[in-house]
Chain A
């Protein structure tokens, strides 16, 4: 039987004990990719030869009596904005289409050390800017549950790869919801860890004070194992937290008796959130109450300003980070008579429309005369959001809300109206502004048969309790759309 829909935990146990070979597990996943990725387009690049070599090394280690690690033989897909030495890392942008990074991201190194098999690089919205994976120079990814719909974004390729059984695990990056929103749309678990818990070294920067790498998985336990394999201090990232990381796996299966859960009013009943999504959040709250948690509504008033603040702060940081794509050290160069002309032509031809739009917005928000009204004001609103979360966490262990306002929409539905696309990040953005962890857990479907996710939020370094509650939600979840 194919391992293509097995949990990562089962695969690792079978490989470590010598029951299954990593090479065979890999071939079963490569077969699944070959059979269906033509229509889904989760991958920009499948690392067949490198993955086969990694799998052979894991099998040799097992044969020699060595333990290859907690993710032994588990295929993992990587968002194509994570640097892999000598392997294309395009960010789904024309400006990096032929770039081969001279180093590996820290997460790539740590996953190899844990015995994982890196199967390929997944499609994304260019430079992680988008909510549908339609802003890709390589064309869109399709939702495995309905090919006419988007997988969400920006980590849509990673979410689709896990939902389709191309890999049990994947990595994405989440700046305003880019892991949680596509995970919800594709019916899988997606986690944005506490800012600083996972090293950003080798993650191509979008908005440095918001970006965080995190896991996708089909089960809460698999997501926890993947997070634990890569979290912890890294001297190569000066924003990496120096303390020991919390364990995501420590309290899985321990129930929620006595835990205090607050349902965020502003991110559940807000205008634009579909009634059926609200219904699933209420059902999730009831399930936790039935399991012994104390559940109440809570107000986080400043959360409603998150979207506006984010779409000033993130573009401002992006406009600075993307200044490096200038045709000098790597990537595309379009010749010009002098260096200014070369810069202008290279960037005009190398970037797609959404990336240009955000560079423009950010440059404007940072420019003389507007800085304080836009960027400065957004930073003060960020302080208000943190203060409101802190007040809520004085009373509650975790918070619960919708992950996305709707189920996955159809391709092309929002591409002409950037603001309507931005609104799909309404519920996920506040955690990025605060630097707090949050995750989505599949919780049933909508009337259209598409997956719905509910979001759990926790205070900084609250991963242990967040995963504890997530496991209880998973156990109580109504039948989902399943893996497709």
Chain B
């Protein structure tokens, strides 16, 4: 990441716009309807407004907590163990072929 970390206490973020919501929906791979975009713009705005109390706190010098446990580098021994039954797993796939998951076309046609 090239950008320098912003200071811990910042000016309030601007309210979320309908265009922001549409952009986020694309990132999240959710095909939302126009009604959903309107509704989420208002509802996400209300939740983010409530979060301004947290945004405004002075947390300079406070380290972030990503996880409640101090566990680090949990490894298992590198030995072969039984795994899930392949047929049982593939039977749950929407489409499978030749012991593989089958998906629609990923790349465009060759030029």
Confirm or deny: A35 has a beta carbon within 8 angstroms of a beta carbon on chain B: no
Task: State whether A344 touches B69 (Cβ < 8 A).
Answer: no
| Contact residues in A for B20 (Cβ distance below 8 Å) | 364
Q: Mark B6-36, 1 if CB is under 8 A from A, else 0.
A: 1010100100100011001101111110001
| Contact residues in B for A309 (Cβ distance below 8 Å) | 54
- Of the listed stretches A26-34, A105-113, A381-389, chain B binds A381-389
Confirm or deny: B104 has a beta carbon within 8 angstroms of a beta carbon on chain A: yes
SS class of chain B's interface: helix, strand, loop or mixed? Answer: loop
Q: Mark B68-100, 1 if CB is under 8 A from A, else 0.
A: 110100101000000011001101111100000
Confirm or deny: B110 has a beta carbon within 8 angstroms of a beta carbon on chain A: no
Task: State whether A338 touches B104 (Cβ < 8 A).
Answer: yes
| Contact residues in B for A338 (Cβ distance below 8 Å) | 104-106
Q: Mark A314-344, 1 if CB is under 8 A from B, else 0.
A: 0000010001001111111101111111111
Task: State whether A370 touches B51 (Cβ < 8 A).
Answer: no
| Contact residues in B for A239 (Cβ distance below 8 Å) | 67, 69, 71, 74
| Contact residues in A for B64 (Cβ distance below 8 Å) | 376, 379-380, 382-383
Partner of A434 from B10, B68, B74 at Cβ < 8 Å: B68
Q: Complex formed: what's the CA distance from A307 to B62 in Å?
A: 19
| Contact residues in B for A341 (Cβ distance below 8 Å) | 104
* A209-B68, A308-B53, A381-B59 known; A344 vs B30 contact (CB < 8 Å): yes
Q: Complex formed: what's the CA distance from A307 to B51 in Å?
A: 8
Q: Complex formed: what's the CA distance from A434 to B6 in Å?
A: 26
Which residues of B come within 8 Å of A, CB atoms?
Answer: 5-6, 8, 10, 13, 16, 20-21, 24-25, 27-32, 36, 40, 43-44, 46-48, 50-51, 53-55, 57, 59, 62-69, 71, 74, 76, 84-85, 88-89, 91-95, 101, 103-106
24 contacts across the A-B interface (CB closer than 8 A): A102-B89, A209-B68, A307-B50, A312-B54, A328-B93, A328-B94, A337-B104, A347-B31, A356-B30, A356-B40, A357-B43, A360-B25, A360-B30, A361-B44, A361-B48, A363-B27, A363-B28, A364-B44, A372-B6, A380-B65, A382-B65, A384-B59, A418-B43, A460-B68
